[in-house]
A = this chain, B = another copy of it.
């Protein structure tokens, strides 16, 4: 069996990870889209958005588990096992923090939907870029495009920083400390989602730098 054949024999196993990462990215795109849409006509007393986010979060946990199982079994990986493991954890963190945002929105019955919705749009845009980046990371076919997505995700995080500070300044005008504490918590959870997306972007960039 020539080297080419050996290569082809290993290919399917190698591809397992990209298939899984593509499913993870697709899940994040759907989760963030449903999250953003759910905030349009959000009812503080209806837990259906929270339940939906909880389902997505569990689905992401299952993918994360599957990737770790595959990491334990496959000898051949498309890039270093530590990079796969780091990327997996960072992607899961995005889902965890979208869920946490939805949880505290519901538990605290906070009504700052306009600001929440600005964040959810930035979060959705970041997840769409993550999906694009993962497609371009596959087989390292387009490192420049991965870098481009990463720059966009970083810019969404900067915008989210400004949305946070502007929302907080406005929030303090209410002069209601209990409301401020609650809404500030949710706003900060939302901002962390964009930080986590930035972490994903940084990890993908460092993978590109390492292998390109």
Chain A residues with CB under 8 Å of chain B are 68, 71-72, 81-82, 85-86, 89, 100, 103-104, 107-108, 143, 147, 161, 165, 168-169, 172, 175, 177-178, 180-182, 184, 202, 205-206, 208-210, 212
- When the two chains form their complex, are residues B107 and A206 in contact, meaning their CB atoms are under 8 A apart? no
Which residues from B are CB-within-8-Å of A104?
165
Complex CA distance for A31 and B71, rounded to whole angstroms: 34
Contact of A209 among B72, B161, B212 (CB under 8 A): B72
Pairs of residues from A and B, 6 with the lowest C-beta to C-beta distance, nearest first: A177-B177, A85-B206, A71-B209, A81-B209, A107-B169, A81-B210
Q: Contacts A82-B206, A147-B72 given; indicate if A178 touches B172 (C-beta within 8 A).
A: yes
Which residues from B are CB-within-8-Å of A172?
108, 178, 182
Complex CA distance for A208 and B184, rounded to whole angstroms: 40
CB distance from A53 to the nearest CB of B (A): 14
Complex CA distance for A107 and B173, rounded to whole angstroms: 12
